[in-house]
């Protein structure tokens, strides 16, 4: 926090006082706003609010909330002290020993652990003895999921009800705790076994499951896992700062004039539809793998865009055949290691005409310490996850620049910027 820059002369005790005062001040901003607007705050009570009403409170309160999250974390960690903090990090691995898919049980009021075990068996076929159920649930309760209104009986709270009401969120939680926990734990083992590997089948996933498939083949090999992944992606994409509006508004599309843009790995075309809606002079060719071109997907092109947006099939590792004004890669390269990213960029070359733009809309890793601790943690987590599942990575601005240089000297770097949201724009042009 700029306003709380640590001075070398500030004593550790003063720091605690400063933090608590700042927390009080920021909390007042937040509560005054909520009261003035007649809004509630989130609560873990079963009928409480599950999210902060961010859309209704205005920028000052949004900033105050972010600061409270950072300040309370700092105060918490300082009051624990480095030794206890380290131990807490290590102990917390057990909190994920919560079988979230089992927790999605409709309950009217409260139920005994014994009756809940019977209900779980009836609904899911899973046998879990009441004493094991109780130990797992009591750990969940200690982490604010479920409640025990009377000793021996369990009831939903707001967090556990969310797992029931919001399928995308429930699958997000289940995917990371059930499918990702062991591969992440094996990531260092994979780094040691295949130092610096850029291959998609030399990761913690391969060590955990003892196979040579890529992560995506691994997902598809188990129907339940593939389903969890597909549903959880809806929750992932809807995280604050990742929605398509930032892609529409963050790039000066109007300056392209009457142009054709190839949306590489554009899935079912939603990004192209959104940009085409705002910029009527643009045409889009959305390329993706054949598997994405189901009759249902083809039916989803909005009627008013059928003359400007087409959904086509193209594997971006194969030589590009569409000669266009621009090629958009949104959220593609972070899933590919440098070796494969360079291959994808080189595959464009046969179709590139002078001045063609390569527009990347993706994550850029900041210099450490630039973002709030919360944002820093989120982006660093994503970087490690990409390593854990496919040996790819998030990149700093210079890494992006270097990829173009390595791919072909005829790419001319135009820069990288972010106007809103979490994804940056990174651009090069073709100057033979």
Q: What residue ranges bind ligand SAM (CB under 6 A)?
A: 265-267, 271, 288-289, 292, 315-317, 330-332
Nearest CB to ligand SAM, comparing residues 146 and 215: 215
- Which regions of 320-419 does DSSP assign to beta strands (E)? 326-330, 357-362, 411-417
Cβ 320 to ligand SAM, closest distance in Å? 11
Nearest CB to ligand SAM, comparing residues 181 and 292: 292
Q: Cα–Cα distance between 395 and 108 in angstroms, integer?
A: 48
Cβ 63 to ligand SAM, closest distance in Å? 28
Q: Residue for token digits 């809309």?
A: 361
**Separation in Å, CA 138 to CA 102, 105, 132, 147, 150:** 14, 16, 10, 8, 12
Q: What is the dihedral of CA 313, 318, 319, 323, to 10 degrees?
A: 20
Cβ 330 to ligand SAM, closest distance in Å? 4
Q: Which residues pair with residue 423 across a beta bridge? A: none
Does residue 156 carry a catalytic annotation? Answer: no
CB 333 within 8 A of CB 360: yes
Question: Helix 167-174 and helix 158-165: axis angle, to 10°?
Answer: 100
Cβ 313 to ligand SAM, closest distance in Å? 9
The one catalytic residue in 156, 218, 314, 334 is 334
The strand pair at 147-150 and 411-417 is best described as unpaired
Q: State the DSSP code for 367.
A: P
Nearest CB to ligand SAM, comparing residues 279 and 316: 316
Q: Cα–Cα distance between 408 and 179 in angstroms, integer?
A: 38
Nearest CB to ligand SAM, comparing residues 156 and 246: 246
Cβ 400 to ligand SAM, closest distance in Å? 17
Burial class of residue 262 (count of CB atoms within 10 Å of its CB; 0-12, 13-18, 19+): buried
CB 288 within 8 A of CB 310: no
Nearest CB to ligand SAM, comparing residues 221 and 289: 289
Nearest CB to ligand SAM, comparing residues 164 and 292: 292
- Among 138, 203, 121, which residue's Cα sits nearest to residue 390? 203
Cβ 421 to ligand SAM, closest distance in Å? 12
Q: Cα–Cα distance between 32 and 54 in angstroms, integer?
A: 14
CA 421 to chain centre: 13
Q: Cα–Cα distance between 217 and 32 in angstroms, integer?
A: 52
- Among 40, 49, 178, 208, which residue's Cα sits nearest to residue 104? 178
Nearest CB to ligand SAM, comparing residues 217 and 315: 315
Q: Residue for token digits 């005409």?
A: 353
Q: Residue for token digits 């898919």?
A: 101
Q: Residue for token digits 């289940």?
A: 174
Cβ 316 to ligand SAM, closest distance in Å? 4
Nearest CB to ligand SAM, comparing residues 62 and 297: 297
- Among 261, 259, 255, which residue's Cα sits nearest to residue 273? 261
Residue nearest to ligand SAM (CB): 265
Cβ 225 to ligand SAM, closest distance in Å? 17
SS3 of 161-181: HHHHHCHHHHHHHHHHHHHCH
Q: Residue 217 phi/psi, 5° resolution? A: -65, -40
Cβ 383 to ligand SAM, closest distance in Å? 16
- Among 331, 266, 254, 326, which residue's Cα sits nearest to residue 300? 266
Nearest CB to ligand SAM, comparing residues 231 and 332: 332
Active site residue ranges: 334
């Amino acid at each position: 926090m700029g306003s709380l820059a640590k001075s070398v002369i500030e004593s550790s005790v003063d720091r605690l006082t400063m933090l608590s005062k700042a927390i009080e001040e920021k909390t007042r901003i937040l509560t005054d706003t909520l009261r003035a607007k007649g809004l509630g705050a989130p609560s873990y009570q079963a009928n409480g609010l599950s999210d902060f009403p961010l859309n209704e409170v205005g920028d000052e309160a949004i900033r105050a909330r972010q600061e409270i999250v950072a300040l309370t974390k700092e105060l918490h960690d300082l009051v624990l002290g480095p030794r206890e903090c380290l131990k807490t990090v290590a102990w917390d691995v057990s909190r994920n020993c919560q079988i979230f898919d089992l927790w999605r049980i409709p309950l009217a009021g409260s139920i005994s652990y014994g009756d809940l075990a019977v209900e779980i068996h009836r609904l899911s076929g899973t046998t879990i003895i009441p004493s094991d159920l109780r130990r797992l649930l009591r750990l969940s309760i200690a982490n604010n999921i479920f409640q025990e209104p009377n000793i021996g009986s369990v009831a939903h709270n707001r967090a556990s009800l969310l797992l029931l009401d919001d399928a995308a969120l429930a699958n997000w939680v289940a995917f990371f705790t059930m499918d990702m926990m062991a591969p992440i734990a094996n990531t260092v083992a994979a780094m040691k076994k295949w130092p610096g590997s850029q291959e998609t089948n030399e990761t913690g996933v391969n060590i955990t499951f003892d196979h040579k498939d890529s992560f995506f083949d691994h997902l598809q090999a188990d129907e339940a896992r593939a389903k969890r992944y597909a549903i959880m992606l809806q929750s992932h994409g809807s995280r604050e700062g990742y929605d398509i509006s930032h892609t529409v508004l963050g790039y000066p599309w109007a300056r392209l004039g009457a142009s054709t843009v190839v949306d590489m790995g554009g899935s079912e075309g939603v990004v192209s539809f959104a940009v085409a809606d705002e910029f009527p002079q643009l045409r889009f060719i959305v390329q993706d793998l054949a598997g994405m071109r189901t009759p249902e997907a083809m039916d989803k092109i909005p009627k008013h865009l059928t003359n400007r947006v087409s959904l086509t099939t193209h594997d971006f590792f194969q030589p590009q055949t569409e000669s266009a004004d621009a090629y958009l890669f949104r959220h593609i390269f972070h899933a590919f290691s440098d070796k494969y990213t360079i291959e994808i960029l080189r595959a464009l070359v046969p179709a590139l005409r002078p001045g063609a733009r390569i527009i990347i809309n993706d994550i850029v890793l900041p210099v450490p310490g630039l973002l709030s601790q919360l944002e820093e943690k989120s982006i660093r987590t994503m970087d490690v996850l990409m390593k854990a599942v496919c040996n790819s990575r998030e990149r700093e601005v210079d890494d992006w620049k270097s990829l173009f240089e390595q791919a072909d000297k005829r790419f001319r770097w135009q820069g990288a910027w972010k106007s809103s949201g979490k994804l940056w724009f990174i651009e090069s042009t073709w100057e033979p």
